Amino acid sequence: MTNLKRNITILILLITGIMSCVAQQRTDSGLNPERFDSIIDGKRTSLYIIRNKIGMEACITNYGARLVSLMFEGKDCVTGFDNVGDYRRFKQNYGATVGRYVGRIKGARFTLDGVEYRLQENGKGVTSHGGYPGFADKVWNLIAKTDSTLTLQYVSADGENGFPGELTVNLTYTVSSRNGLELVYEATTTKPTVLNLTNHSFFNIGGRLDEKITNELLWVNSNRIATFDEDKNPNGHMMKVKGTPFDFRKARRIGERIDDDNEQLNVTKGYDHSFLLKTKGNDRKAAAIVTDEERKVRMTIYTTEPVLHIYTGNGLKGNTKGKQGIYYPRRSAVCFEAMHLADSPNQPSFPSTVLRPGETFRSHTAYVFSIIE
């Protein structure tokens, strides 16, 4: 072997060793990025780490464009798994981007511009979360990354699960200087279509992923919710929250009335409802605030979307092992899904979810953390 070949070989070995060491480095939340290296549907999955300059860290995988961990003040504030395989096995949408249409579409069909589109249905006569596989089950492409931002893209084929139009979605995650996890969605289509995107992270802002969130204080900038029929399908009606267990216009504990004998709570076994926001798309006004008084942590949600769907983890059963070996108990986390209303394509009175060629859908949602003095 010549000296040149020997030197090249040594250099390759050194680079490989360095890359291996880097890959094995754990994140602030203790995740090993190597456990997210896989091939799914012929595409590679990875774990990406973004941070701000004051210590907040977010870890995201391109499998489902999912938020895997979110570190604030040394605590991981979202549930999830420490490997990509468990995200495939368990279907609770932990941290996922849900689409093409989050929520249910009754009858698994809608009519747009005089054309009826029949969608994939779930065996119960509805389309749920855009059908399966949905955006949460897809491997997204990496478009750009900096220290504090990550942009992922998914192109949904014309006719995927019955939805018209080739839809191109870009999602940019940012860990901002205000200790906010900021999400910006942008989407374009080749045909008139409907679109309803959200992030489905389960938050426990105190970082106690094995404890219930029912003692946390919640304030919501809303005086109406969308209601369900007895089968948990949208019935097209809105209900005023005044005097009901859904009245969070003044901050009170999540668990204070969560088990009341109430028609809507009986359907969902806890909070799992869309709150129509009074913010009218202004993402400078708070949509909701959740506070952990014991840990002195607060999270404020801002969004351009008209609705915040609040889900209190009623379906968690304590039999799913997640990060840190924790089995997530019932109501150990709460979702704040910024979105439009379910079944909007069949409800003319609801805010429109129609997107047309030449238009760009854009939404911004921020989950901003702070310490209570």
Q: H/E element holding 272? A: strand 272-277
**Using CA atoms, how far apart are residues 37 and 63, in angstroms rounded to an integer?**
10
CB under 8 Å to 124, separation ≥6 — which residues? 231
Q: Which of 57, 129, 160, 200 is catalytic?
A: 200
Tokens, residue 139: 């491997």
**Using CA atoms, how far apart are residues 21 and 28, in angstroms rounded to an integer?**
16
Q: H/E element holding 333? A: none
Q: Which of 160, 182, 305, 337 is catalytic?
A: 337
Tokens, residue 175: 């860990």
**Using CA atoms, how far apart are residues 60 and 268, in angstroms rounded to an integer?**
30
Q: Based on the residue annotation, tell me whether 200 is a catalytic residue of this protein.
A: yes
Percentages helix, strand, coil for the chain (3-state, rounded to 5) are: 15, 40, 45
Integer Rg of the chain from CA: 21
Angle, vertex CA 266, rays to CA 238 and CA 293, nearest 5: 85
Catalytic residues: 200, 337
